[in-house]
Amino acid sequence: MAGFCPVEATMGDDEPATDPHLDPFIATIYDGEHGGASDDVDWAVSLAAGIDEQVADLGCGTGRLSLPLALAGRRVIALDRAPAMLTQLRRKLRAEAPAIRRRVTVLKADLRTLDQSLPVHAVGLAVLGYNTFASLMTSTEQQRCLLGLQAALRPGGALTIATAALSAAHLLLPEGFTQDVYRRAAPELGSGVTLSRMDIHRWTDQTHQIRRLAHVYEVTGPDGGRRQHHFEYAVRYTTRFELEHLLARCGFGRVRVYGGYLEEPFTVAGGLLVALAQTEGAEPSRERRGAAAAERGLVVTSAE
């Protein structure tokens, strides 16, 4: 990693927001940054237990959910709009047995045009992982996504969405507020390399429910050379009752809202909103999900 050069972080508040996940650097470090989390993986696998139809992993990234689902015997549509993420997923699939690879269909597509990408009434479960829904920047885009999913899901099929629950403290953060997130070894970037991340809150537009954020990554090579990767982006936050209304408006029936992947009661202070909704039709078996969860030592409770 010799030859690192300092790179000034030139993007600022006046620069256009982009999707960091489109950048090959983020795809490279993605598993190292998120690999420690497992509750969402267990939740998805539990929901998919016994489903015969395909499971759609929307915004699949490098396959954190798709691969465990395939290993659990599910047929998966792994969908993302970021080519670099899908390249990492395909690389990981090549290391799996042929039977596992055959279960995963990798698809480059956009959440806003799912009606053109997913088969009609062929999906048993659709998963929008943490904050994927926040990449949809208007109510129109959100409804396009949900209507596309409603058409793709079989009668009685399920959709789960995980997104940030923002308290007043988050919304009122001062402009320019910074937080050091981590410093870790980054073998995916080379031997002896360390990686640190700092988050910056640019501003919050409470009228349009938009937050402008930045991630600043600093890569330090074994020779002490440093470089920075700076990403400016925006997300749209959604409240609990707004999400419930959107789901109902787009043809989803019973909607349950939890505060975590173990189906804890929802409170905005918990920071996480997990919704589970169904299309009209047969009720999925809670007992089936409970048995699958018990196999992994989870406890399925009710927040109703």
pLDDT tens digits, 147-189 = 999 999 999 999 999 999 999 888 999 999 999 999 999 999 9
Could you tell me which residues come within 8 angstroms of residue 39 by beta carbon, excluding any fewer than 6 positions away? Answer: 260, 261, 262
Measured CA to CA, the distance from residue 48 to residue 61 in angstroms comes to 19
Given a contact cutoff of 8 angstroms between Cβ atoms, the answer to whether 86 and 106 are in contact is yes
Q: Can you tell me which residue has the tokens 């055959």?
A: 102
Measured CA to CA, the distance from residue 139 to residue 1 in angstroms comes to 45
Going by their DSSP bridges, the two strands 226-236 and 210-220 should be labelled as: antiparallel
- pLDDT tens sequence across 279-297: 987 554 444 445 444 444 4
Model confidence at 78, in pLDDT bands (50, 70, 90)? very high
The end-to-end CA distance of the chain, in Å, is 54
58 φ/ψ angles, rounded to the nearest 5 degrees: -95, 125
DSSP per-residue string spanning 110-158:
-GGGGGGTSPTT-EEEEEE-TTTGGG--SHHHHHHHHHHHHHHEEEEEE
Nearest CA among 157, 145, 89, 159 for reference residue 116: 145
Q: Dihedral of the CA atoms 264, 251, 136, 22 (nearest 10)?
A: 90
Model confidence at 18, in pLDDT bands (50, 70, 90)? confident
Tell which CATH architecture fits domain 37-166+238-295. Answer: 3-Layer(aba) Sandwich (3.40)
What value does the mean pLDDT of the chain take? 88
> What is the value of pTM for the model shown?
0.86
Q: Give the Å distances, CA to CA, from 289 to 102, 126, 142, 300.
A: 24, 15, 28, 8
Measured CA to CA, the distance from residue 41 to residue 129 in angstroms comes to 9
Task: Look at phi and psi of residue 3 and say left if phi exceeds 0, alpha if psi is from -120 to 50, else beta.
Answer: left
Nearest CA among 200, 159, 197 for reference residue 58: 159
Find the mean pLDDT for residues 89-109: 97
Looking at residue 110, its amino acid is D
For residue 19, the model assigns a pLDDT of: 85
pLDDT above 50: residue 133: yes
Looking at residue 100, its amino acid is I
With b meaning 16 or more CB within 10 Å and e meaning fewer, what string describes 96-116?
Answer: beeeeeebbebbebbbbebee
Model confidence at 11, in pLDDT bands (50, 70, 90)? very low
Structure tokens at 192: 């002896």
Task: Look at phi and psi of residue 26 and say left if phi exceeds 0, alpha if psi is from -120 to 50, else beta.
Answer: alpha
Could you tell me which residues come within 8 angstroms of residue 224 by beta carbon, excluding any fewer than 6 positions away? Answer: none
pLDDT above 70: residue 10: no
Domain residue ranges in the chain: 20-30+169-236, 37-166+238-295
Q: Give the Å distances, CA to CA, from 94 to 202, 245, 273.
A: 40, 41, 34
For residue 16, the model assigns a pLDDT of: 57
Domain 20-30+169-236 has CATH 3.40.30.120: no
Q: Is 55 exposed, middle or buried (0-12, 13-18, 19+ CB in 10 A)?
A: buried
- pLDDT tens sequence across 99-108: 999 999 999 9
